Structures are given as C-alpha cells and as structure tokens.
Homo-oligomer: A and B are copies of this chain.
Amino acid sequence: MNRPTFSDAHLAARAWFLERSVAAGFEARVDAAGNHSAVLPSRFAEAPTLLLGSHLDTVPNGGRFDGALGVVAALEVLRTTQDGHVDLPYTLEAIDFTDEEGTLVGLLGSRALAGALTPDVLRAPRGGHDALLHGLARAGLTATRLADARRDPRTIAGYLELHIEQGPVLENEHVDIGIVSTIVGSRSFNLTFKGTAGHAGTTPMDARRDAGLAAATFVVGVHETVLRDFPNCVATVGRVTFEPGAFNVIAGEAQVALEFRSADPSRLDALEDALVFRAREAETLGHTVEVEPVGRWEPVPLDTTVRTAIAHVAEALGLSTAELASGAGHDAQALAQITPSGMIFVPSVDGVSHQPGEQTAWDDCLNGANILLGTTLELAEVFAG
C-alpha cells in the first residue's frame, strides 16, 4: 500500500469510502480539513455524536491494515447498527481522518477537529510548506480554512478507534485484544550538518569537513545512546540526505530526520538533551549543526471509563485482553484532548508494520470489529448511567 496523503491512491481510497457510505444509506460529510464521514443520526434530537474512526492514508510503501482496518470497521458498525434498528443516545459517525501519518503535517484531520491545529503547527509542517499547499490543493482544501473543521466538544460524546497493534506484544503474550492505556509521546527534529563541499579526488582525507560523515557519526551515536541509556525508549533516523549528492563530491551538507518516543514525559526531555548533545559533537570538528523541532507530542493517557467498557465487552465475548501503551501515535491522541477516547488493538503478525509485510489474521480483524460494535452499544448504557 502506498497511499501518502492526497496521492492518487489515497484520493481513490477516500472516494471509495464516501461511495460505500452513501451506498449504505448514510449521510456523507466532508469537513474543511478533508475528513470524510458517514453519519447515522440518532432519533433523539440534540444527541451528541460518538465518533468511530481512523485513517486511510499510509506511510510510503506501508501496509494494508494500519488505519484502514479502523475506518472500514467503523463503517461496518454503522451498517450493523442501522440493520438492527438499534436506538442509541448518540449519532454515530464513521470518520476517515486526513493525514494521520504525517506526509504533510501528522494527525492533520483529527487535530483540526479537536481545535488543536494552531497556526504554529501549519507554519513548519513536517513535509514542508510547499508539499502542504500542493497536497491540500489536490483535495480542494485551503490551508487558511483547515481550522474551520473544529467541532464544539459539547457535541461529541466520545471517540473509539480500532487499530492494529503494530508491535509484538499481543502476539507474544497470546492476547486477543489490547486496550490502550497511554499513547507514547514523541518528538521529531530536522538536523542539518554543514561542512565543506569539495572534490572527492583532490581533497586529502585529513583536510575534509565532510557533512555526510558527521551525519553518519550521529546516526551511529543515536543508536548507541538509546540502547545504552534509555531502555523502553526508541529513536529512529528514517531519512538522511547528502547535498549535493554525487559520487565525486564530498557532501557539504547533510540533513537528518530524527524521531524519538517514550511514555514518560521526563524521559522525553532527557532523550532530547542526550541526542542534541550527540549532534553537537560535530561542532568540535568544525561543522555547523542546526536543530529544528518539527513535531512534539506529549504522552496521552486514554479514558478509564472507555477502557473499562472495552474490557467488559471483551469478557462477554470470551476474548482475552491486556492493557498496553501504544508506541505509535494515533488520531485518538488528538481526540482524547476533547472527549472520552479509547483504542482497541488487535495483534500484528511478527509485530511488523509500516511495510508491505504488515499482516493481521482475519479472525483478529473480526474480533476487533465486534469489540468496536460492542463498545459502541455498551457506552450507551455507561453514559446513560
């Protein structure tokens, strides 16, 4: 699956979701952030909305389940509820959030809906400003109008998201359903190492200021530091670019995309200090080092009432559960700021995600969808009580 935000494949998947929603008899809705929804209204006037959703975009060359499972399961919950003529005290809305993965910004749609898409976020978008404007234009959207997607929290009853775990815990512990306790925090940075470009044949090794070497030394240093000093944390350099980028030119500049995560806010601070320190070691060799913050997500605990409801439903269905932190970010972390939110995880084969080998067994998909449906019904009683 290669559906970066607003790529042709992503636009096609988005259109497919709306078509299926309309075909099932639901009202289709598109907001100013490009979020697509299917709406099943409550018969009670002024009823708030329970959102069920996830995202249809993928990382480049990603997998089939990350995001898409939660969107199609949400739509199926609406269809099943409609078919069963169930009266709920809330309107149900299956929602496909825009740009969860961060091709452009990250959690673009869910943050817009939660009123958290500040001008600051749009000023330094993760994929660059041109990519943002170009991408939005492809979907008929406008940067200045994105924030109009904000919803009044009083109109939202809660948020549920079914998602694959994307890690190995559930599989290793033979657990059917994960109940997310916390979504880990993460920070990302663009680092730029500047040395001196030069001729690869005529510049002696000891006279070089090779920005590529400085960047490579940093990549190795990140791995060493985290393995040694930061158990239960992760740090990743997923992209490195050398400029000008030719066989016969010593790199004058190298750019490094750094990201790290922890469930503990104080560890995030310590990680940032340690990794920026490692980057600045290149300054002792005459390089310039620029550190530009790109993304910052605090750890987000999810709603305990919703977690308890998920556990009850699983128990009733005879499925085993475990509470666990999510190492991945999710739209739920934006929604949790404004409404009781919960996440249901199903196992990932070999813990693999963000690549084509991503796999979840059909029975696990079915279990997850049933828990999503059951929790939707269960919450009606909890909220009523």
Show the binding face of A for B, using Cβ within 8 Å: 59-62, 101-102, 126, 165-168, 184, 186, 188, 196-207, 210, 212-213, 215-217, 219-220, 223, 226-227, 233-252, 257-259, 261, 294-295, 326-329, 351-355
Contact = CB atoms under 8 A, between A and B. Distances in A.
Nearest to A218: B216
A355 B196 contact: yes
15 contacts: A61-B244, A62-B249, A102-B248, A168-B207, A198-B352, A199-B353, A203-B234, A203-B351, A205-B233, A212-B238, A236-B249, A238-B244, A239-B245, A241-B241, A250-B354
A342 B215 CA distance: 40
A184 B205 contact: no
Contact of A167 (B167, B203, B216, B250): B203
Contact of A261 (B201, B212, B216, B326): B201
Contacts of A205: 223, 226-227, 233-235
Nearest to A228: B205
Contacts of A101: 246, 248
Contacts of A327: 199, 201-203
A351 B353 CA distance: 49
A302 to B, nearest CB: 16
A249 B328 CA distance: 11
